[in-house]
Amino acid sequence: MKYFAIILFALLSLPAWSQAAADEDQQARLAEIKQRIESLQAELNQVRSQRDQLLKDLEKNEKDISELHKRIDQIKRDMRSRTDKLQELKQEQQQLEESRRSMQRRVEQEVAAAYRLGRQEQIKLLLNQQDPQDIARQLRYHEYFLQERSRVIDDYLDTLTSLQTVSTSIERERDTLDGERRQLQDRETQLRGAQRDRSRTLDKLAARLADKSGELQQLKNDRSRLQKLVDEVGRAIASLVSPQDQQPFAKQRGRMQWPVKGRRANAYGQRRANGITWKGITIRANEGEPVRAIHRGRVVFSDYLRGQGMLMILDHGDGYMSLYAHNQSLTRSLGEWVESGDTVARVGNSGGLTHSGVYFEIRHRGKPQDPTRWCR
């Protein structure tokens, strides 16, 4: 939740989305919202026991893993782009080389022709006892011939220069690509280390939660933490104005796509072994798979929340929100608008899960809704 309050405060102040008057009362209200969120952050992040400290360690481990995944994805995208550029340069080099060979033959022909004509050709024309108009015409032809010869040679020299430039660019691209490969190897090594740290932290947490009461208390704390966040965000964004072309969320009931393809591990409202009921649906999916927005909306939370891992919350207007938890990484930032089907995160197991998947909720004015009534 780092920087959440500050950025959300700035978001509330954007004139493009808010019609709030710039008077002192409005500014005071916004400052109060900012203060409430900051207080909530301090409360949610407070370390109260050794178990909470382990959860804090887990948060750090999983944030490190998320950042490393994002960096690795970026390096891979850069490498793909660099490889495509290298391929284009090689094709250009091949075309230039073919042009160079063709031009070289032309230049050799021009040089041979010049040698045959000799440097005294113009003088010979003048000394010949011919009609002056014929002499003038032949001199012009000779001049055109020289200009064409000069152009062929200039084109040849330009091709050689371009070929050298492309060859230099190819070497530079290869060096950069080699550097990115080394960066990728370093980041993957760091990722394996961070994953080992996370595994050790999870083992310690499992020992602390060996009894059912400890597990139940943690689940209750996680649910309470999420509810507080949703309520606070809902109050904070209540005055934000949606664009005129925003399609009402309610009209898409039963027609939206699920955020990710996979097996549903539970049903909405299903009672868990510890007595708590599910307020959303967990969808099992492969790690790294894209998590997609179910409807156009604005990102109102994009950060780590204890118990939910890397969490994305979208505001769809009219009090509707969609939540995507336990992600590997988040691909959109606070305040961004996303369209239906846009990738907002990557499937993961953050928040202490031992399997990969997405925990998905739909809420209206803070209250959970059955996702199966909205998605098909």
* DSSP-derived secondary structure for 321-372: EEEEEEEEEE-S-TT-EE-TT-EEEEEB-TTT-SS-EEEEEEEETTEEE-GG
pLDDT at 143: 59
Which DSSP letter does residue 251 get? G
Q: Domain range spanning residue 110?
A: 30-208
Whether 9 is covered by a domain: the verdict is no
Structural domain ending residue among the three candidates 184, 208, 232: 208
Q: What is the spatial distance between Cα 282 and Cα 358, in angstroms, rounded to a whole number?
A: 6
- Residue whose pair of structure tokens reads 């400290």 in the numeric block: 53
Whether 264 is covered by a domain: the verdict is yes
Please count the structural domains in the chain: 2
| Domain co-membership, 73 together with 191 | yes
| Domain co-membership, 196 together with 248 | no
- The answer for residues whose C-beta is within 8 angstroms of residue 29's C-beta and 6 or more apart is none
| Domain co-membership, 161 together with 281 | no
**Using alpha carbons only, how large is the chain's radius of gyration in Å?**
34
The one-letter amino acid code at 167 reads S
CATH code of the domain containing 139: 1.10.287
Whether 337 is covered by a domain: the verdict is yes
Whether 271 is covered by a domain: the verdict is yes
Beta bridge partners of 313: 301, 323
Which tens digit of pLDDT belongs to each residue from 91-120? Answer: 877 877 777 777 777 766 766 665 555 544
- Residue whose pair of structure tokens reads 């091709």 in the numeric block: 159
Question: pTM for the full model?
Answer: 0.60
The one-letter amino acid code at 128 reads N
* Residue 285 token pair: 């999916």
| Domain co-membership, 144 together with 281 | no
| Domain co-membership, 109 together with 247 | no
| Domain co-membership, 103 together with 39 | yes
Structural domain ending residue among the three candidates 160, 191, 208: 208
Whether 220 is covered by a domain: the verdict is no
Q: What is the spatial distance between Cα 291 and Cα 311, in angstroms, rounded to a whole number?
A: 11
Average pLDDT in the 24-44 region?
Answer: 56
Q: What is the spatial distance between Cα 280 and Cα 372, in angstroms, rounded to a whole number?
A: 10
Which tens digit of pLDDT belongs to each residue from 234-293? Answer: 887 777 677 777 899 999 999 999 999 999 999 999 988 667 899 999 999 999 999 999
Beta bridge partners of 367: 364
CB count within 10 Å of CB 293 equals 25
| Domain co-membership, 178 together with 249 | no
Which tens digit of pLDDT belongs to each residue from 282-334? Answer: 999 999 999 999 999 999 899 998 889 999 999 999 999 999 999 999 999 88
Residue whose C-alpha is closest to residue 352's, from 119, 55, 80, 14: 55
| Domain co-membership, 204 together with 262 | no
Whether 10 is covered by a domain: the verdict is no
Whether 314 is covered by a domain: the verdict is yes
Whether 300 is covered by a domain: the verdict is yes
| Domain co-membership, 58 together with 200 | yes
Structural domain ending residue among the three candidates 165, 184, 208: 208
pLDDT at 208: 63
**Do the Cβ atoms of 346 and 328 come closer than 8 Å?**
yes
CATH code of the domain containing 298: 2.70.70.10
| Domain co-membership, 346 together with 203 | no
Q: What is the spatial distance between Cα 104 and Cα 336, in angstroms, rounded to a whole number?
A: 56
Per DSSP, the residues of 108-158 read HHHHHHHHHH-TTHHHHHHHS---HHHHHHHHHHHHHHHHHHHHHHHHHHH
What's the pLDDT band for 38 if we cut at 50, 70, 90? low
| Domain co-membership, 204 together with 343 | no
Alpha helices (runs of H) in the chain, residue ranges in sequence order: 4-12, 24-45, 50-117, 121-127, 132-208, 212-236
Q: What is the spatial distance between Cα 366 and Cα 230, in angstroms, rounded to a whole number?
A: 6
| Domain co-membership, 59 together with 197 | yes
**Do the Cβ atoms of 356 and 285 come closer than 8 Å?**
yes
User: For 194, what's the count of Cα atoms within 13 Å in the CB-facing half-sphere?
Assistant: 19
Q: What is the spatial distance between Cα 318 and Cα 333, in angstroms, rounded to a whole number?
A: 21
